[in-house]
Structures are given as structure tokens and as C-alpha cells.
Amino acid sequence: MTVRLLGLNCSPRDKNNSGIMIGHAFEKLAATYPGQFEHEVVHLRELHVEPCKACNVCGKRKDGTFIPCVREREDDVQGVLDAMVAADGIVVATPVYFGLPSDLFSKFIMRTRTLRHQDFKLANKPVGVLATAGRRSGGAETAIIATWLPFVRNGCLVVGNGDGTCQFGAYGWAGPRGHVSSDEWGLVQAFQTAQRVFTLAAMVKAGAEATGYGDYMRFSYSQGTRT
């Protein structure tokens, strides 16, 4: 079985630390699980991302067909949504901004509402977060938890890192561009978090295949309402 992970780099600046965190984690995963791991990294800063218009049009018709986002053809978001749906798990890397994930993350993640309205297309996908902050106690953990929330609303399974300490994810400690490369423990945590996403994604995939319960969330969302 192969497990496909999508990396979402939510830093708006070039040569960012978030990309280094994801790159390191995925490189090490590929070396640890040869032949079992596929991945793709989306750098949101390179894409055109429009905000959700709150038009409330996306969703499900009474006949069961889906109504796409009205912005489907206006920018690059639909391609990322498709990549999220195709992935078995997601690793988000974000800079910490005022104790929160980046505004780029927030703008993008609101557009996943269309997936929620389309029978929870992200249901049961494991998600881990790698947050990079310039300061110790600068809000890495609040940023991680804030990043989790929209994924929980999408029916995802949020995880921390996978070693014996079981923290909330990864904390990269770096201010200037590229400095996270010298944060040895941050990089270790980045790998551990991605590894936790990978292993849980493998378990969910195998379990869904064995039990047929993979679509439980989708089947239980049967009223056709947009709640």
C-alpha cells in the first residue's frame, strides 16, 4: 500500500522556513518508507487564492449532485482542493503570526467549505501541523491549535508528533528566512509529525478498505442540508 501526503506551505514569503520544515519531513519519510510514500507540496504563495465570498451557493442539490464553488474557475484554489481530496493525509506548515497561522492559510482554508458542503470530502484524513515562530513562547502552540480547527470542522483527524513525548506537532524556532535549518529539534519534530500523519493515514486507509466504514461521515450527512 502506498500513502500519499499533501504538504501545504502557508508562508507568504520567499525562501521561507515553512518550506524547509515540510521538505525535511518529506525527505526523511521517503527515506524511511521507500516505495510506500508519495507526496506533493503546494506552496500557496505561488498560487492565486481568492477569499470565500460567503455566497452560500456551494453544496448539494436535492437530487444529490454537488454545486461547486462559484470561484471554481476564478483562481487556483480548486486544484489544491482536488489535491487535498486525493491525498491520504495532509501536513500543514505555517509561520506563526500573532500566535495564529498565516492570513494566507486562513484565506485558503475558508475555501474548503465547499468540500464540507459536498458530503465532507476531507473526512477522516489525518492532519498534522508544523508551525515556525521567531520567538520561544511566541504562539506556536496556539497557532497549531487554530490551524487544527477548520480541519476538525471538515471531519479530519488532527494529530501531534509521533514520538514518546506526543506534543501538539512541530515547533520550528526561527525568525529570518532559512534559519530553521539549524533548529535541529524543530526538524526532528517536523519529521515526527509527518510520520504520525503517514502512519495514521496508512491505518485509516487499511481500516477503511477492510471494514467499508470509510464513507461513514459521508453517509451520515444525508439530509442534503448545509449545516
Ligand X SMILES: Cc1cc2nc3c(=O)[nH]c(=O)nc-3n(C[C@H](O)[C@H](O)[C@H](O)COP(=O)(O)O)c2cc1C
Question: Which residues form the interface with ligand X (CB under 6 A)?
Answer: 11, 13, 16-18, 95-99, 132-135, 138-139, 174-175, 177
Closest CA to 38 of 198, 158, 225, 180: 198
Q: Tell the smallest beta-carbon distance from residue 39 to ligand X (Å).
A: 18
Q: Tell the smallest beta-carbon distance from residue 103 to ligand X (Å).
A: 8
Q: Tell the smallest beta-carbon distance from residue 102 to ligand X (Å).
A: 7
Q: Tell the smallest beta-carbon distance from residue 43 to ligand X (Å).
A: 11
Decide if 124 contacts 221 (C-beta within 8 A). Answer: no
Q: Which is nearer to ligand X, 88 or 141 (CB)?
A: 141
Q: Dihedral, CA atoms, 43, 151, 101, 185, nearest 10 degrees? A: -80
Q: Buried (b) or exposed (e) across 198-222, using 16+ Cβ within 10 A? A: bbbbbebbeeeeeeeebeebeeebe
Give the C-alpha separation, 96 to 98, whole Å. Answer: 6
Give the C-alpha separation, 172 to 186, whole Å. Answer: 4
Q: Which is nearer to ligand X, 142 or 199 (CB)?
A: 142
Q: Which is nearer to ligand X, 73 or 98 (CB)?
A: 98
Coil, strand, or helix at residue 112?
A: coil
Phi and psi, residue 39, nearest 5°: -155, 165
Give the C-alpha separation, 55 to 150, whole Å. Answer: 18
Q: Which is nearer to ligand X, 148 or 171 (CB)?
A: 171
Q: Which is nearer to ligand X, 22 or 58 (CB)?
A: 22
- Report H helices in 43-183: 77-86, 103-110, 113-116, 140-153
Q: Which is nearer to ligand X, 62 or 136 (CB)?
A: 136
Q: Tell the smallest beta-carbon distance from residue 170 to ligand X (Å).
A: 12
Q: Which residue is nearest to ligand X (CB)?
A: 138
Give the C-alpha separation, 114 to 34, whole Å. Answer: 34
Q: Tell the smallest beta-carbon distance from residue 94 to ligand X (Å).
A: 7
